[in-house]
């Protein structure tokens, strides 16, 4: 950990209220990388939510699949590591759910397109 980060944490430590002290001092709290990695990963969830209004034909099946699988794997991993990291679990569940939803949209779109092709062929 850098000296600057330790200095910032020690200054901030004085201002943390008693009610937030358990979270602040938790092994996966803001004093550690175990907090900041999931905090930054929420950007993937925000991006996925932004894609909900994107036209289905512009969605990448490979990207959504890899993010969904990654979310599922890391959700499991976050519960077996020590310290147990519930914030990592939460963000990965949302990454997985967002991308599973997108994959569902793609599947529905592709089945509708196939049905139209079959209907035109008759």
Q: Specify the pTM.
A: 0.78
* Same-domain status, 102 and 70: yes
Helices (H) and strands (E) in the chain, counts: 5, 0
Residue 92 contacts residue 71 (beta carbons within 8 Å): yes
Domain residues for 25?
1-31
Q: Summarize pLDDT for 23-48 with one digit per residue, the tens.
A: 888 887 888 777 888 889 999 999 99
* Same-domain status, 45 and 91: yes
Q: How many domains does the chain have?
A: 2
* Same-domain status, 41 and 68: yes
Residue 88 contacts residue 34 (beta carbons within 8 Å): yes
Question: Band of the pLDDT at 2, cuts 50, 70, 90?
Answer: confident
* Same-domain status, 17 and 52: no
């Amino acid at each position: 950990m850098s000296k600057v980060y330790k200095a910032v944490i020690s200054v901030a430590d004085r201002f943390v209220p008693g009610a937030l002290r358990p979270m602040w001092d938790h092994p996966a709290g803001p004093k550690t990388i175990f907090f900041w990695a999931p905090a930054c990963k929420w950007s993937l969830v925000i991006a996925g939510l932004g894609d909900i209004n994107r036209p289905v034909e512009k969605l990448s099946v490979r990207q959504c699949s890899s993010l969904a699988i990654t979310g599922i794997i890391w959700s499991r991993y976050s519960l077996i590591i020590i310290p147990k990291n519930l914030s990592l679990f939460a963000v990965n569940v949302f990454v997985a759910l967002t991308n599973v939803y997108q994959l569902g949209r793609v599947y529905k779109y592709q089945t509708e397109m196939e049905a139209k092709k079959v209907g035109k062929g008759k």
